[in-house]
A and B are shown apart, each in its own frame.
Chain A
Amino acid sequence: MTVTESRALDEIKIGGMGSRRRRVEDNRFIRGRGHYIDDIVLPRMLHMEILRSPIAHARIRSIDTSRAYEIPGVRLVLTGEMMATRNLAWMPTLSYDTQAVLATDKVRFQGQEVAAVIADDPYIAKDACEAIDIEYEPLPPIVNPTQATADGAPLIRDDKENQHDNVAFDWEVGDKERTDRAFAEADVVSKISLHYPRSHPSPLECCGSIADFDRATGKLTVYMTTQAPHIIRAAVALVAELPEHQIRIISPDLGGGFGNKVPVYPGYVVSILASILTERPVKWIEDRTGNLISTGFARDIYLDGEMALRQDGRILGVRMHTTSDHGAFFSDAQPSKFKIGLMHSAFSCYDIPTAHLTARGVYTNKAPGGVAYRCSFRVTEAMFFQERMIQAAADDLGMDQAEFRRVNFVRDDDFPHRTPFGFLTDSGQYAKCLQVGLDAIGYADFRMQQEEARSRGRLLGLGISTMTEPLGAGNSREYDILGIKMFDSAELRVHMTGKALLRTGAKTQGQGHETTWAQIVAHELGIPAEDVLVEEGDTDTAPFGMGTYASRSTPVAGAAVSMVSRKVRAKARKLAAHLLEVSEEDVEWELGRFYVRSNPAQGVTIQECAAAAYSNMPDGMEPGLEGNAYYDPPNLTWPFACYIATVEVDPVTGVWDVLRFVAVDDCGVRINPMVVEGQIMGGLTEAYAMASMQFITFDSEGNCVGSNFMDYLLPTAWETPGWELHEVVTPCPHHPIGAKGIGECATVGGPAAFVNAVIDALGGTGVRNIDMPLLPDRVHEALTQHHDVSGAPPVKTD
């Protein structure tokens, strides 16, 4: 009797799923050979610089550009008035509002775009901006929601018909009556008020574009720092009324995105018009101050939260009221039909019978905010509020932080689970993740240490943050941008020699798609990952997709890669049957090879099938071995995370240090564990940054405080703590390879762990809250004066 050994390939050896494959894109980056926007030089290219308003709120009396034109090398100066002649002074936002491209009537925030100079050289363009004379008539500025809704507040959006106050929207979700009843029956009601401050994603590369309009062909090519090139193409077609097939958006290597590169910014639009007018390529590269004061703000939202509790620790109901500060234009880049994004994904990991949320959005004289910053559309705020409310509730009940969570978690056998606000979660092992985290940090020991240290005047604290969050927009039923449904796509061509080209509608910004997508192909087809070239970001070549944000690449585009590979495998099976001279039903698959069921030694490799597709196909079969797939996910994916921080607070200075940080992430099956860990560590660092130092705010005049990296502090290697990572794997039941989103979990769940830890360290002072960032002076104030510390603007500046 013979035993036939499997001839399947070793998946790890071919760089398949689970392989810690080194990244392909590194080869160019470590040599300084990336192609970022500012590295691209086109023949006859001009340079554009934007002039921004120094004032937060003012009427524009006059703009005089004549002195700018006198400077040699200046080719064109654009103002709002000139944009208006092309109907481009205003543009629609992704939240169905309008946003000024170049100001015409008023400026509504400091840093707003007022004019643009196009010149031979960027230095000349900057010179010329200083030679533009503008007369402003200052108006009272508004920097927070209280001012915005006060009686007699000046109307910011007087450009809009039927807008008589500064309220952008009022919205609600949940069951009010049932929630009211839960509160009536509660033993204890726990309340907390918080502000999640403004923050800025600040990828290390700022935004920019090079517009290149060719009058001869009518083709507009725009190189652009965008996370979603196809959406931009659609937006340009609609806004500029250009034919879509004549628009090509190329997103080159991106120096980080984090949500900053999703929206359409005025600079892009102005550079396009400038190229059309000058008939030359026009490059616009934003400087850091421009980036910080005018683009992509996130958060800036206030919470009044209440929790109805039973004495035994069960949560009976939750009430949330949020007030979000959207700045001058409601330009949230979020694809849901919900005004406040996915705020109501809060409390999804807890088994809570009822909840009710009311949300108000207001206009202020600040840059348009609300953009996602490494989170899916207010999910970051939702989870922060949730975990701060959970900590306060446990304290109010006098219950242990871990035990309170355990008592209220959704159980492993209770899926699919309907969340208190109506989402459907599908999988998770919440209690297990928490236990892994507690064991890793040495929970019981730390609590003893903490008590012992306190007796000697040292302040130690431990903060837990546990959450499941919805990642991977869409499905198409509930999520769309400008009516375009949230699916994604992949196209795979297997060449004659078995090498392959894969393109998707996503767009990597450091996530490593060039490496990891090839691993999925290797997993599905047995083609070694090194034989698969991955391309993204060019709308003339990539299939239509919705881009990369919201941790949606793996949940949606990654699934499309899997599905297209399976389509290709289905055709390869027919080719294999032909080559093996058996019927298709008699053909079996193992990684990299088809074989005859009755005689496993008789088989053909996927590469042999590829050759046959071009050289030896059966009669009547369409030649070639390629396919495409559009994937519309049945649901969001729901990863779970448990983050635990321990800190020590200096009782004299208010400075706090992280002692240890344990992260337990369950993002389902990991395609490349090395890349996943990289995403987690990067996300945790941004969480630490928001909790500790990233401070961008406004004074009473509406001046942006934190408009450069000397004031807006990002953590360096020196202060960033070490991260201890652990994993639990609960495969996603509806994803073809069982994966869930991961890119944002740490940024979403991380901040509450730090804040909870510092508040825990202050136990006994009666302090319930200090708003982020937990700057030493705020902690010091809380410590010495025993009261909560608010971080709401305006700040005092001397």
Chain B
Amino acid sequence: MTSLFEEITPAPATDVPVRRVTITVNGQPRTLDVEPRLLLAHLLRQGLGLTGTHTGCDTTNCGACTVLYDGAPIKSCTMLAVQADGHEVQTVEGLGTASELDPVQEGFTHEHGLQCGFCTPGMMMASRALLNANPDPTEEEVRFALSGNLCRCTGYQNIVKAVLWAAQRERDAQPPEEAGAEAATDDVPVEQEA
């Protein structure tokens, strides 16, 4: 793919060391020169303009910066961009398309699972990871899977409903035989991120 602008940022005027990394973001390989100390969240936001990934705490507590890293939910404020070299990252911008929403996105608006919207991208990415691993979670499993993500507005009840709504929507959309095959994954425990 060609573009009008070179993505590779010019080397800083100082002698700050940089490293070239290639990260597949939302399906597109992106190559950038980065300072080794640059956080992945900042690369996504400032380097690539993907501002849907928010930072709310700097200490890995709030989860607003949650993205999928090789499919697993991680907090991108606590990973260096250079660590992601060669890996795949999915952000909220890669969830659904402009015309077709992911069921998780639909669920959040359908069940009023957001108010100010700041935690929402991270919540949705954590929810997506849960449903990928467990298409039929219980309320308790949803609450546990989202316990690394803080919301100050909703009181969580509608967020839980939103995820359960999305799970139901996805199961309904699945042909019955596949649904049967998927049922085996129900027992797989959802990994709580560190």
A residues neighboring B (CB under 8 Å): 22-23, 25-34, 36, 38-39, 72-73, 123, 202-206, 253-258, 287-289, 509-512, 674-675, 677-678, 681-686, 708-710, 714, 716-718, 720, 722-723
With a cutoff of 8 Å between Cβ atoms, the chain A residues found around residue B105 in the complex are: 30-31
Q: Are B117 and A510 in contact (CB under 8 A)?
A: yes
Contact in complex: A204, B62 (CB < 8 Å): yes
Binary interface encoding of chain B residues 11-52 relative to chain A, with 1 for a CB under 8 A from any of its CBs, else 0: 001100000000000000000000101100000010000111
Measured between beta carbons, the chain B residues less than 8 angstroms from A28 are 117
Q: Considering only CB atoms, which chain B residue lies closest to A73 in the complex?
A: B14
Question: Does B64 lie within 8 Å of A72, measured CB to CB?
Answer: no
CA distance A675 to B154 in the complex (A): 10
Distance A288 CA – B56 CA, assembled complex (angstroms): 7
**Docked CA distance A32–B117 (Å):** 9
Q: Decide if B57 touches A708 in the complex (CB within 8 Å).
A: yes
Name the A residues within 8 Å of B150 (CB-CB).
204, 709, 714, 716
- Closest chain B residue to A287, Cβ basis: B58
How many angstroms from the CA of A723 to the CA of B159 in the assembled complex? 13
Cβ of B152 and Cβ of A26 under 8 Å apart? no
Closest residue of chain A to B150 (Cβ to Cβ) is A714
B155-A720 in contact (CB<8A)? yes
Beta-carbon contact of B117 and A29 below 8 Å:
yes
Instruction: Name the CB-closest residue of A to B110.
Output: A22
Contact A255 B54 (CB under 8 A): yes
Chain A proximity mask over B144-187: 1 for CB below 8 Å, otherwise 0:
10111111111111111000000000000000000000000000
Closest-by-CB residue of B relative to A689 is B152
A203 touches B116 (CB 8 A): yes
Q: Who on chain B is nearest to A25 by CB?
A: B117
Closest to B109 in A: A26
User: Smallest CB-CB separation from B146: which chain A residue?
Assistant: A717
Question: Which residues of chain B (56-112) have a CB below 8 Å from chain A?
Answer: 56-59, 61-62, 64, 91-93, 95-96, 98, 101, 105, 108-110, 112
B1 CB to nearest chain A CB (Å): 22
**B contact residues around A257 at 8 Å (CB):** 116
Residues of B at under 8 Å CB distance from A?
A: 13-14, 35, 37-38, 45, 50-59, 61-62, 64, 91-93, 95-96, 98, 101, 105, 108-110, 112, 114-121, 124, 142-144, 146-160
Q: A156 to B64: give the CA distance in the assembly, Å.
A: 39
Min distance, Cβ B125 to any Cβ of chain A, angstroms: 10
Q: Contacts A30-B114, A31-B93, A718-B147 hold; do A510 and B153 have CB atoms under 8 A apart?
A: yes
Chain A residues whose CB sits within 8 angstroms of the CB of B54 once the complex forms? 36, 38, 204-205, 255
Residues of B within 8 A of A717 (CB): 142-144, 146-147, 149, 151, 156, 159-160
Q: Which 6 A-B pairs have the closest CB atoms?
A: A32-B52, A255-B118, A29-B117, A510-B116, A510-B115, A32-B92
In the assembled complex, the CB of A67 is this many whole angstroms from the nearest CB of chain B, namely 16
Question: How many whole Å from B99's CB to the nearest CB in chain A?
Answer: 11
Contact B152 A258 (CB under 8 A): yes
Q: Separation in Å of the A737 CB from the closest CB of chain B?
A: 21
CB-defined contacts of B154 to chain A, threshold 8 Å: 678, 681-682, 685
Q: Is the CB of A29 within 8 A of B114?
A: yes
Contact A206 B52 (CB under 8 A): no
Given contacts A682-B152, A708-B57, A714-B150, contact A205 B109 (CB under 8 A): no
A682 adjacent to B155 (CB under 8 Å): yes
Bound CA–CA A512/B117 (angstroms): 11
In the complex, residue of chain B having the shortest beta-carbon distance to the beta carbon of A508 = B116
5 further interface pairs, Cβ-Cβ under 8 Å (given A29-B117, A256-B152, A710-B59):
A123-B38, A204-B118, A510-B116, A714-B152, A718-B147
Contact assessment for B37 and A289 in the assembled complex, using a CB-CB cutoff below 8 Å:
no
| CB <8 Å contact, B112 and A675 | yes
